[in-house]
């Protein structure tokens, strides 16, 4: 891994002590949220479907640390980590997962439809590959308004096989739109291993088909993700056109909570957790380099736990939407609807 990585100066060394700590905080907040959501789903407190981002936190943390509040992201069905890292409110996210009225979609969208336009989070998406064209639209907005905003489109290895991938990369390339396409190659699309389902060994090689640059990084190394995203997002703001960044990672949990996981062995998962967990790896690095003390790291875990528990209490106590609200908000207000 680390293809063509030598091109990148080590911007991480310039990251402030607070910046280094914030990367860990973001990953810990996501992990704590996800771990609790899994428990709540299994306890039947959360309805619907839940796809967990556990093990992939280094990507959201490393990329988002380089974005401004008014930059945009599009997310996937596995989107809690992206939303949290971009600044969405944890209590409103939890309320949405519970189906409560104070959730981001008034409780009608659930896990796969969390959006918060006020922080540039344009939406998770139940449609695999559904975020590509939205991100291109956001990139077009920056281009037409002549701002230096950027759009980041997160998508999976499976999504890179969809037709929307081709349409979006081509259009972004011909108009040199400021879109970073961040592929989260977590080795599986549902039950299908990437080695079977994807025609190339490096998804970043697909960039060549659009005449744009493509890179592959170790997505479980938050420092590498941060460094490379730092350089690439800087290039986007300079108007040089879209870039494809593949981040290699591993989906530690099943495709969805409750997945029987017949397509892989427990040993494979155990090995990945032991050797490749992004939080473990970064914690080790911070301690070894004396950037943080273990007591400070303990505090981050405690703060995240408290924040998650406060969000759970909030979600538990909020009301469900009333049945007569079911058909509200289905169409934009300008739309005239003939029923």
Ligand X SMILES: Cc1ncc(C[n+]2csc(CCOP(=O)(O)OP(=O)(O)O)c2C)c(N)n1
Mark 46-85 with x for binding to ligand X (rule: CB under 6 A) and - for no binding.
------------------------------xxx-------
Burial per residue of 272-286, b for 16 or more beta-carbon CB atoms within 10 angstroms, e otherwise: beeebbbbebbbebb
Measure the CA–CA gap between 245 and 229, rounded to whole angstroms: 8
Instruction: Give the SS3 label for residue 266.
Output: helix
Q: Judged by CB under 5 A, which of 156, 178, 241, 254 binds Mg ion? A: 156
Decide the pairing of beta strands 192-193 and 188-189: antiparallel
Q: Which stretch binds Mg ion (CB under 5 A): 118-126, 185-193, 227-235, 293-301?
A: 185-193
Q: Judged by CB under 6 A, which of 186, 249, 272, 283 binds ligand X? A: 186
Q: Judged by CB under 5 A, which of 75, 161, 183, 186 binds Mg ion? A: 186
Question: Binding to ligand X (CB under 6 A): which residues in 94-153?
Answer: 126-128
Q: Does 219 bind Mg ion (CB under 5 A)?
A: no
In this structure, are residues 24 and 297 in contact, taking their beta carbons and an 8 Å threshold? yes
Measure the CA–CA gap between 79 and 162, rounded to whole angstroms: 19
Q: Which stretch binds Mg ion (CB under 5 A): 64-72, 154-162, 237-245, 298-306?
A: 154-162
Structure-derived torsion over alpha carbons of residues 63, 64, 68, 74, reported in degrees to the nearest 10: 90
Q: Judged by CB under 6 A, which of 118, 190, 294, 328 binds ligand X? A: 190
In this structure, are residues 105 and 328 in contact, taking their beta carbons and an 8 Å threshold? no
Token digits of residue 301: 């875990």
Cβ distance to ligand X smaller for residue 176 or 264? 264
In this structure, are residues 178 and 215 in contact, taking their beta carbons and an 8 Å threshold? no
Smallest distance, Å, CB 157 to ligand X? 4
Q: Of all helices (H) and strands (E), which one includes residue 8? A: none
Q: Judged by CB under 6 A, which of 122, 152, 159, 315 binds ligand X? A: 159
Q: Does 157 bind Mg ion (CB under 5 A)?
A: yes
Question: Binding to ligand X (CB under 6 A): which residues in 302-321?
Answer: none
Smallest distance, Å, CB 127 to Mg ion? 15
In this structure, are residues 162 and 130 in contact, taking their beta carbons and an 8 Å threshold? no
Write out the residues near ligand X by the rule CB under 6 A. 76-78, 126-128, 156-159, 186, 188-190, 251, 255
Write out the residues near Mg ion by the rule CB under 5 A. 156-157, 186, 189
């Amino acid at each position: 891994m680390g293809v063509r990585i030598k091109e990148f100066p080590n911007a991480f060394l310039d990251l402030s002590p607070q910046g280094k700590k914030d990367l860990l905080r973001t990953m810990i907040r996501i992990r704590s949220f996800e771990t609790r959501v899994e428990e709540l789903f299994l306890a039947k407190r959360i309805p619907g479907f839940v796809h967990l981002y556990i093990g992939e936190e280094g990507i959201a943390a490393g990329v988002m640390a380089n974005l401004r509040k008014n930059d945009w992201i599009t997310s996937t069905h596995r989107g809690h980590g992206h939303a949290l890292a971009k600044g969405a409110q944890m209590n409103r996210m939890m309320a949405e997962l519970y189906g409560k009225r104070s959730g981001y979609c008034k409780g009608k969208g659930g896990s796969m439809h969390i959006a918060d336009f006020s922080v540039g989070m344009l939406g998770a998406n139940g449609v695999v590959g559904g975020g590509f064209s939205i991100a291109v639209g956001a990139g077009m907005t920056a281009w037409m308004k002549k701002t230096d905003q950027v759009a980041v489109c997160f998508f999976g290895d499976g999504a890179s096989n969809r037709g929307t991938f081709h349409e979006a990369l081509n259009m972004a390339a011909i108009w040199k739109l400021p879109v970073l396409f961040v592929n989260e190659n977590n080795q599986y699309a549902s039950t299908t291993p990437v080695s079977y389902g994807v025609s190339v060994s490096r998804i970043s090689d697909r960039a060549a088909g659009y005449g744009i640059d493509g890179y592959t990084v170790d997505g479980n190394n938050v420092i590498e993700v941060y460094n490379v995203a730092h350089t690439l997002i800087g290039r986007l703001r300079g108007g040089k056109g879209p870039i494809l960044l593949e981040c290699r990672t591993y989906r530690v949990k099943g495709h969805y909570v409750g997945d029987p996981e017949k397509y892989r062995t427990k040993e494979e998962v155990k090995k990945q957790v032991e050797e490749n967990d992004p939080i473990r790896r970064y914690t080790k690095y911070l301690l070894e380099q004396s950037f943080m003390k273990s007591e400070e790291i303990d505090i981050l875990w405690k703060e995240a736990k408290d924040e998650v528990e406060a969000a759970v209490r909030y979600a538990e106590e909020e009301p469900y939407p009333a049945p007569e609200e079911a058909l509200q908000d289905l169409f934009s207000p300008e739309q005239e609807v003939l029923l």
